[in-house]
Structure 1
Amino acid sequence: MASSTAGATERRGIPGAQFVEDVETYLTQSGLDVNSALSFLQERLQQYRVVEMKLLAQQRDLQAKIPDIEKCLDVVATLQSKKGTGEALIADFEIAEGIYSRASIDESDSVCLWLGANVMLEYSCEEATALLQKNLENAKASLEVLIADLQFLRDQVTITQVTVARIYNWDVHQRRLRQATGAAKDP
């Protein structure tokens, strides 16, 4: 039995974990002793945890961004549906955290969108819809990639934890064998 490197791939900068089938062969090939191998793997687990925290933060941001984009699309669609009816749209909008005001929005052919970095641009309703749809598609695609990255990362964490356990258990077994062999030679 040799160590398996089939799982040792990389995904978007996340290093793959190597499943160790034969601990002795792994230690020999890597040139590490048990403590060094365990130390290396614990460090790798820490790196995985840091990457996981970063990916989870990005996931939270995207999960918050998607409903906002969908709300903007709904507002633009509502404005377009009121077009030509002569009917004003009554809307409550947030002025500051928890402070709202009511507004009457007359018929309009354009809307202003916040683009980020304190930048707002005016678009026609059609252009705004196209931009928001594109942003929504991109956000959903990015979320799918992030979810796949998180799953890959969790798989690597599991493989690494199993490898740590296998090396530790192998080391305990080797110590017991040495003790048993030493005890058998003493009498």
Structure 2
Amino acid sequence: MASSTAGATERRGIPGAQFVEDVETYLTQSGLDVNSALSFLQERLQQYRVVEMKLLAQQRDLQSKKGTGEALIADFEIAEGIYSRASIDESDSVCLWLGANVMLEYSCEEATALLQKNLENAKASLEVLIADLQFLRDQVTITQVTVARIYNWDVHQRRLRQATGAAKDP
């Protein structure tokens, strides 16, 4: 019986977890003792948690950028500390901030096309993030199961040693 399933894959830099079927073979092949294996797996779990937090933050940022679908109402500063609210009427052109203090004026059609393209890219990024999160959660689960299997195997081995030691004593 193999010690682990082959093909622990990687997805966008997230290392795949290895499911351990036979703990003893796994420990022998990896050259680790129980404590070292458990330490390694706990460290891997921490790495997964850090990556999960980063991916969730990216997902939250992308989802927060979704439009509300309400009419455009803008607050603008008239003078220092004095603001006014305005409802924006339709016009033939719009100005879009492109970043780095760059603003360009587009026709409504061009702006719509650009924003639609950006929306599609954001949706694609969100889908990739969701897939990455699912992959990561699978790796966390596999690693947690492996930790439990190694720990239980170690407890079983200790009990066997105690039982054989107790049988030899009388």
Q: TM-score, normalised by structure 1?
A: 0.78
Relative to total residues, which structure has the larger helix share, 1 or 2? 1
Give me the CA root mean square deviation: 5.9
Q: What is the deviation of 1:179?
A: 0.2
Instruction: Flag the 1:147–1:102 CA change in 2: closer, same or farther, 3 A.
Output: same
Counterparts of 2:65 and 2:46 in 1: how far apart (Å)?
55
Q: What is the deviation of 1:135?
A: 0.4
* Identical amino acids, percent of aligned pairs: 100
Counterparts of 2:64 and 2:22 in 1: how far apart (Å)?
67
- Residue by residue over 1:80-100, the C-alpha shift from the partner in whole angstroms, topping out at 9 and shown as x without a partner, is 999999999986679999986
- Aligned match of 2:64: 81
Which residues of structure 2 form unaligned runs of 5+?
none
Which stretch has the larger CA shift, 114-123 or 145-154? 114-123
Secondary structure, in 3 states, of the residue corresponding to 1:166? helix
- Residue by residue over 1:6-27, the C-alpha shift from the partner in whole angstroms, topping out at 9 and shown as x without a partner, is 3510001000000000000000
Which stretch has the larger CA shift, 173-182 or 106-115? 106-115
Q: What is the deviation of 1:110?
A: 1.0
From 145, 160, 163, the counterpart of 2:143: 160
Instruction: Flag the 1:151–1:34 CA change in 2: closer, same or farther, 3 A.
Output: same
Secondary structure, in 3 states, of the residue corresponding to 1:103? strand
Give the conservation status (yes or no) of the 8 Å contact 2:27–2:34: yes
Instruction: Flag the 1:51–1:95 CA change in 2: closer, same or farther, 3 A.
Output: farther
- Aligned match of 2:10: 10
Counterparts of 1:82 and 1:147 in 2: how far apart (Å)?
16
Counterparts of 1:173 and 1:161 in 2: how far apart (Å)?
18
- Residue by residue over 1:105-133, the C-alpha shift from the partner in whole angstroms, topping out at 9 and shown as x without a partner, is 56632101122344322111111000000
Give the conservation status (yes or no) of the 8 Å contact 2:4–2:26: no
Give the conservation status (yes or no) of the 8 Å contact 1:45–1:160: yes
Counterparts of 2:101 and 2:35 in 1: how far apart (Å)?
52
Instruction: Flag the 1:132–1:100 CA change in 2: closer, same or farther, 3 A.
Output: farther
Counterparts of 1:160 and 1:10 in 2: how far apart (Å)?
14
Which residues of structure 1 form unaligned runs of 5+?
63-79
Instruction: Flag the 1:89–1:179 CA change in 2: closer, same or farther, 3 A.
Output: closer
Secondary structure, in 3 states, of the residue corresponding to 1:161? helix
Q: What is the deviation of 1:176?
A: 0.3
- Residue by residue over 1:18-69, the C-alpha shift from the partner in whole angstroms, topping out at 9 and shown as x without a partner, is 000000000000000000000000000000011001101100110xxxxxxx
Give the conservation status (yes or no) of the 8 Å contact 1:88–1:106: no
Counterparts of 2:40 and 2:61 in 1: how far apart (Å)?
32
Instruction: Flag the 1:105–1:182 CA change in 2: closer, same or farther, 3 A.
Output: closer
Counterparts of 1:159 and 1:32 in 2: how far apart (Å)?
19
